[in-house]
Structure 1
Amino acid sequence: MGSLIQDRTQTAATEAIGGERGDLLQTLRQHRGFLRYAAKGLTDEQARTRSTVSALTVGGLIKHVSNCEAGWALFMEGGAGLMATGLPSEEEWANDFTMTEGETLEGLLAAYEAVAAKTDGLIATLDLDVAYPLPEAPWFEQGASWSVRRVVLHILAETTQHAGHADIVREAIDGQKTMG
């Protein structure tokens, strides 16, 4: 119940921001909601369940999306250098899609809410046109820069893609679907 009240409060605050920022915030919040909905009512054991041939689990997907968003939030604040300060250890990286035994779904969702609140604040206040060079990595175009706006769109795409994955995993667990 508390989460529903918080969602309504955050939605009202988001709606108070108009234009492009409001659109970005509202769309990102909607897709975060789809991801959270895939976890609604699951036990920790179910959240760890590999219900398809994939290694993906609902809990692991929430953890991954939260970690990605946290890293990109750092990038939006100060570029690749600041993003690097939040990079996971090798062990954390290896477990990025895994809900480990010590983790709970409730804890992962709480961490995700905190990350989302920080990102929402950045979207509401940062200059969307400020751009930083991307980190050096084989999956990024060498020498390319991304604006804060492009990072927000990347976070939205990542969230949307993985919310779809979580929906499939959840449906295979007990038939619940986000839509339809």
Structure 2
Amino acid sequence: MTTKEGENLMTTTGKLATGERADLLQTLEKHRHFLRFTVRDLTDEQAAQRPTVSALCLGGLIKHVAATEQAWMDFVVGGAEAMTGGEEDREGRFNMAEGETLAELLDHYEQVARRTDRIVSTLPDLDMSHPLPEAPWFEPGARWSARRVLLHVIAETSQHAGHADIIRESLDGAKTMG
């Protein structure tokens, strides 16, 4: 999914995204790539390690970013009631559970990415919106458009790609960039 800024873009689902949608999906894909590239050539054991004082591990970041993207796309499609991956296992969303493999987490992330691309490519309008779920970190009565959700997913993915880069460098000295 690479193209020059503003050009038409074939998504992972074979749909053609153009203009703003292509720009947004291309930006999201770039940050997904950074995150996936950061975990290249790791064993499951390495992906589960915590080489910094943070409680984060690389496999857990992949798992969290996939769950977050999936939940926000559920919101785009069905509103706050449709969001999945609630607070029931917040800690577990940042860890690799016993028996989970990095390959499985990456495969799930790819499935989530394909679904997101399909949703964004086929939405009637990026301005469609829903009220946000009630939470102390959201302004009461606020609504987010599909565009705003996608920008949030891009920011979340980018932020965690940076976290992953620091963890990977601490783990074995490998860098995503540079």
The TM-score with structure 2 as length reference comes to: 0.90
Equivalent residue letter for 1:101 = E
Between the aligned partners of 1:130 and 1:24, the Cα distance in structure 2 is 16
* Count of matched residue positions in the alignment of Structure 1 and Structure 2: 169
8 Å CA contact 2:60–2:94 kept in 1: the answer is yes
1:4 matched residue in structure 2: none
2:5 matched residue in structure 1: none
Between the aligned partners of 1:129 and 1:176, the Cα distance in structure 2 is 41
Between the aligned partners of 2:35 and 2:20, the Cα distance in structure 1 is 23
Equivalent residue letter for 2:61 = L
1:81 matched residue in structure 2: 81
Moved over 3 A (4+): none
Superposed CA offset, 1:54-96 (max 9, x none) = 111110100000000010010010110111xx23462x32301
1:163 matched residue in structure 2: 161
CA shift, 1:101, in A, is 1.1
Between the aligned partners of 2:73 and 2:17, the Cα distance in structure 1 is 19
1:69 matched residue in structure 2: 69
2:116 matched residue in structure 1: 119
The TM-score with structure 1 as length reference comes to: 0.89
Between the aligned partners of 2:72 and 2:87, the Cα distance in structure 1 is 17
- Where structure 2 has 5 or more consecutive residues not aligned to the other structure, the ranges are 3-7
Between the aligned partners of 2:67 and 2:115, the Cα distance in structure 1 is 13
Superposed CA offset, 1:104-140 (max 9, x none) = 0000000000000000111111120001000001111
- Where structure 1 has 5 or more consecutive residues not aligned to the other structure, the ranges are 1-6
Between the aligned partners of 1:17 and 1:144, the Cα distance in structure 2 is 28
Between the aligned partners of 1:153 and 1:144, the Cα distance in structure 2 is 16
Between the aligned partners of 1:102 and 1:70, the Cα distance in structure 2 is 22
Which has more helix, going by share of residues?
A: 1
- TM-align CA RMSD: 1.7
1:143 matched residue in structure 2: 141
**Deviating more after overlay: 94-103 vs 31-40:** 94-103
